[in-house]
Amino acid sequence: MLKIGITGNIGSGKTTASKMFEVLGIPVFYADTAAKEIMIADAVLVADIKRTFGNEAYFADGSLNRKHIANIVFNDDKELARLNALTHPAVFRAFDAWVAGIKNAPYVIKEAALLFESTSYKMCDYSILVTAPLDMRIARVTKRDKITRAEVEAREAKQLTEAKKRELADYVIENDESRLLIPQVLDLHEQFLQLATAPPNPPR
C-alpha cells in the first residue's frame, strides 16, 4: 500500500485537497488532529509533556492546558522544538498503527502541516505540496480564522518556505485560482492508482 504525504503552508488549501481524496475513497490521516488527540490519550507522551512543561500543562480532568503550552512555545523556538520532539514520534507511531488497520486501499494519504519539517515525509512513498501565493494565503486565513496579517506571517515564519518545499515534494498542486483543484487531484489519483498496481522493480 502506497503512503502519500500531503502538505502546504498555512492557507494553501491542503485540507481541502485532502478531503477531495477522501471523496474518492482514499483514507486520510490528519496528523494535526491526531496530535491533539494523542497529547491527551498517549500516557507516555502526557508524562513527557508534564515533565518538560510542568504539571500545569494539564487540567485536573486530564485535558490539555493549551494556553499554558502556547504561552511557553509561541515565542520561543527552542521550547517549540522541545514540544515537537515529544509529539512528532508519537504521531509517527499513531500513523503506523493507523496504516496497519487499513484494508483494501490502493494508497493512503497523510495530511500534515509539518510533513517536511518533522521529516515524516521520509515515511511516505511520495509527497504532495499544495501551494498558493503568500498574499492569497494570508487573505484566506485572515478571513477564515479572524486573525491579523501579522499573526499569519508569524505562523508562516515557523515553517519552511514554499520554495524549499517545492524542492522536496514529488508533486505540486497549484491552488492559486488559476487552475481548478479537482482536475489536479483526479490526475494525481489516477497516477497513484497506477503506481499502486505496478509490479515492483526487479532487484538489480
pLDDT digits (tens, 9 = 90+) for 82-97: 999 999 999 999 999 9
CATH of the domain at 13: 3.40.50.300
Alpha-carbon distance of 39 to 94, in angstroms, equals: 12
- In this prediction the pTM is 0.89
Q: Please check whether residues 64 and 123 belong to one and the same domain.
A: no
Cell (9 digits) for 115: 510533513
The answer to whether residue 188 sits within a structural domain is yes
What is the domain count for the chain? 2
Q: Please check whether residues 22 and 115 belong to one and the same domain.
A: yes
Alpha-carbon distance of 174 to 180, in angstroms, equals: 8
Q: Please check whether residues 43 and 84 belong to one and the same domain.
A: yes
pLDDT band per the 50, 70, 90 thresholds, residue 26: very high
Q: Please check whether residues 124 and 155 belong to one and the same domain.
A: yes
Q: Please check whether residues 72 and 146 belong to one and the same domain.
A: no
CB atoms within 10 A of CB 26: 20
Q: Please check whether residues 7 and 50 belong to one and the same domain.
A: no
Query: Where does a domain end: 63, 80, 101?
Result: 101
The candidate with the shortest Cα–Cα distance to 12, out of 186, 162, 185, 170, is: 162
* Average predicted confidence (pLDDT) for the chain: 92
Angle at 159 between CA 172 and CA 31, to 5 degrees: 75
Q: What's the pLDDT at 191? A: 97
Q: Please check whether residues 125 and 186 belong to one and the same domain.
A: yes
The answer to whether residue 203 sits within a structural domain is no
pLDDT band per the 50, 70, 90 thresholds, residue 78: very high
Query: Where does a domain end: 101, 116, 131?
Result: 101
Q: What's the pLDDT at 202? A: 54
Alpha-carbon distance of 190 to 188, in angstroms, equals: 5
The answer to whether residue 204 sits within a structural domain is no
Q: Please check whether residues 46 and 70 belong to one and the same domain.
A: yes
The answer to whether residue 72 sits within a structural domain is yes
The answer to whether residue 124 sits within a structural domain is yes
Q: Please check whether residues 118 and 180 belong to one and the same domain.
A: yes
Does residue 201 surpass a pLDDT of 70?
A: no
pLDDT, one tens digit per residue, over 132-178 is: 999 999 999 999 999 999 988 988 888 899 999 999 999 999 999 89
Q: Please check whether residues 91 and 52 belong to one and the same domain.
A: yes
The answer to whether residue 173 sits within a structural domain is yes
Q: Please check whether residues 161 and 144 belong to one and the same domain.
A: yes
Alpha-carbon distance of 12 to 154, in angstroms, equals: 16
Q: 76 is in which domain, residue-wise? A: 32-101
* Residue found under cell 498503527: 97
Residue 111: which H helix or E strand, with range? strand 107-111
Query: Where does a domain end: 57, 77, 101?
Result: 101
Q: Identify any residues that bridge with 29 across adjacent strands, giving them in sequence order.
A: 110
Q: What's the pLDDT at 204? A: 47
Alpha-carbon distance of 13 to 29, in angstroms, equals: 16
